[in-house]
Amino acid sequence: MNTPPASDLPQNLGRPAQRALDQKGYTRLEQFTAVTEAEILSLHGMGPKAIRLLREALEAKGLAFAAPGRK
């Protein structure tokens, strides 16, 4: 039986960034299409490297963060 992984977030995120996302319930890349980069960057533990890794993972799936001002 093929069950999807619990999370499809990049495996190389730093521990603080991973904890910040876990606390907010982010486990799937698709969830980030509803929030802006700035919203995720404002979470304690998130930094430019984590945002870059998320952006690259989103782009690889043809997805993107929500545009600022468009939710």
Number of domains making up the chain: 1
The whole-model pTM stands at: 0.86
For residue 53, being part of any structural domain is answered with yes
For residue 33, being part of any structural domain is answered with yes
For residue 7, being part of any structural domain is answered with no
CA distance 19 to 16: 5
Whole domain around residue 19: which residue ranges?
A: 15-60
For residue 25, being part of any structural domain is answered with yes
Cβ atoms of 17 and 65 closer than 8 Å: no
For residue 8, being part of any structural domain is answered with no
Q: What is the pLDDT of residue 2?
A: 55
For residue 54, being part of any structural domain is answered with yes
Q: What is the pLDDT of residue 7?
A: 86
pLDDT per residue of the chain (71 residues) written in tens, 0 to 9: 555 557 899 999 999 999 999 999 999 999 999 999 999 999 999 999 999 999 999 999 999 999 988 54
For residue 48, being part of any structural domain is answered with yes
